[in-house]
Amino acid sequence: MKNWFTVLIALFFSFALYAQNETEIASSGFSILNWSVLIVFLLGTTLIGELVKNKDKGLDAFFKGGNKLPWWAVSLSLIATKTSVATFIAVPAFIFSMNGNLTYVQMTIGFALGNILFVFVLLKEYYEEGIFSPYEFIQNRLGVKISQLARTFFMIGATMSQGVRLLGTALVLSVITGQSTVVCIVIIALFAVIWSYIGGITTVVWTDAIQFVIFIFGALFAVFYAVGDIPGGFGEMMAIADKKAKLVLWDLSLDPHKTYTLWVGILGCTFFEFGSNAVDQVVTQRALCCKNLKEARKAVAFSVIGVVTTWLMAIVGIGLVAYYDINPLSDLVSESISSEPDRIFPYYVVNELPNGISGLIIAAMFAAGISTLDSALTALSQTSVMGIGTLVFPKLKTMEENKIVKISKRAIIVWGFILALLAFTFSFFQDGGLLALGFKVPGYAYGTLIGIAFLALIRKGKFVGVLIGAMITIIVIALMHREGISFFWWFPVGALVVMITALLHWSLTNKKELEQ
């Protein structure tokens, strides 16, 4: 472990000193004090991760924490995992943008309902079968082929969405230092890999819990200063926002092309959140680490409070609108923000907030970003090694658990490289902002996954029918994408297409078998 710290300290201090000598617009306000806060956060969290890691060896300890983790720590980890850096930088950026307003907050209704749906629909089934992942549940109910199809869709959807989240965190570091996006992606991916590598899910859960505390305080500080920087305070801030039509909250439109409406929040976003909890191993893995079903239900239900972070950052977005209405951006900065709107909040933090406080809020953004990324790495490792890996390399089934854990750790490194590469690729496709991109990229996969999960619940579905349904779903979603249908509708529509197709195939093949 000492070797890890020697490398990390040398790397980060070299990076900090080099960044201080750069001349760029956005990093001039990030002082040595701010760097100290950020470095203490990153290295301190790494040390804590080493101290709290599960000393037991074996797959159950590495991937489920031996089912010894307290529900409240799991709940905080769930919130941290789902509260990505998109919440911190993309929500304020959306409100600050030309046509932005508060309508995104309607999505928090679905975020809450999706958690409740998972608690009462699938969580009990998962615990009764003692599984490591939802794909084992699918395998037990529908067979190996369908479970492998589900794993494939998960890995595609997860790598795409996590690549976006890694990019979002890299943009924060890029604004601070003026360094290239590539360098920033590498730094963040490195810490995420190390935290996942140290002690598996136990380290991830405890570091996530710590990071939740950091980013919730960061959000509160951001709100305090965003309001405090406006002459006239909260009232003047709201008056300016109202003048700019930023306070629109409810949208009852039935137009499916509109991204954020009440109906999208209640239906589309509920399916999205249910899928995140029930069939996305990045999140589901947390819920399976509790001592029993009762503890798991408390963990998932309590995680609903995570929506508070979205509300807080929406207020920050309104504060940015008012502040830069009173203190207009320079032409040079304004042009930069227009090309990459997600840079606005990091720019404000670095250039307008007091030293130390800006370091704390930047650390909060890192906490949100890396907590999601390290969770993804453990989930992708488990799915690729224990799922697809056992089919490609049958020897894994009889190999000693300690050796499989070592292979899983190597897989974490490989997935870290893949996510870094994807993040770099996505840096060229930010026209709609990170908020939209983060929801769009998994849209092609998660609708299918949700449909398969429901089929497993009712124990109906054959591989051919599910495969045909998955292919039709991709075509349907591609058409919806082309027609500009809100991406949140992709999830329920995808699930319904898979289920209807698979059930029709099930009915027809069973009928033929009876006739023969």
pLDDT for the residue numbered 434: 54
The whole domain housing 32 covers 2-442
How many structural domains is the chain composed of? 1
The reply to whether 396 falls in a domain is yes
List the structure tokens of 402.
């300690």
The reply to whether 38 falls in a domain is yes
Residues forming a β-bridge with 69:
290
pLDDT for the residue numbered 397: 66
181/170 Cα distance (integer angstroms): 6
What CATH code is carried by the domain that includes residue 46? 1.20.1730.10
Q: Under 8 Å CB-to-CB from 272, ≥6 apart: which residues?
A: 110, 114, 439, 446, 488, 491
Instruction: Say whether 290 sits in a helix, a strand or coil.
Output: strand
Give me the average pLDDT of each 10-residue run along the chain (516 residues). Answer: 46 46 46 78 74 62 68 82 71 82 87 86 83 84 88 82 78 71 82 74 76 76 80 87 87 84 88 80 77 87 84 87 86 75 79 79 72 75 74 70 78 86 74 56 79 90 91 90 85 91 89 64
The reply to whether 504 falls in a domain is no
List the structure tokens of 66.
């031996």
The reply to whether 503 falls in a domain is no
Q: Determine whether 69 is exposed, middle or buried from the number of CB atoms within 10 Å of its CB (0-12, 13-18, 19+).
A: buried
The reply to whether 216 falls in a domain is yes
Residues forming a β-bridge with 290:
69
133/265 Cα distance (integer angstroms): 27
pLDDT for the residue numbered 14: 47
- Global pTM value: 0.75
83/214 Cα distance (integer angstroms): 12
For residue 407, the Cα-to-chain-centroid distance in whole angstroms is 25
pLDDT for the residue numbered 1: 45
The reply to whether 516 falls in a domain is no
pLDDT for the residue numbered 351: 80
Pick from 420, 452, 126, 393: nearest CA to 275: 452
Pick from 305, 379, 369: nearest CA to 151: 379
Helix segments in 100-180, DSSP class H: 107-121, 123-129, 134-142, 144-177
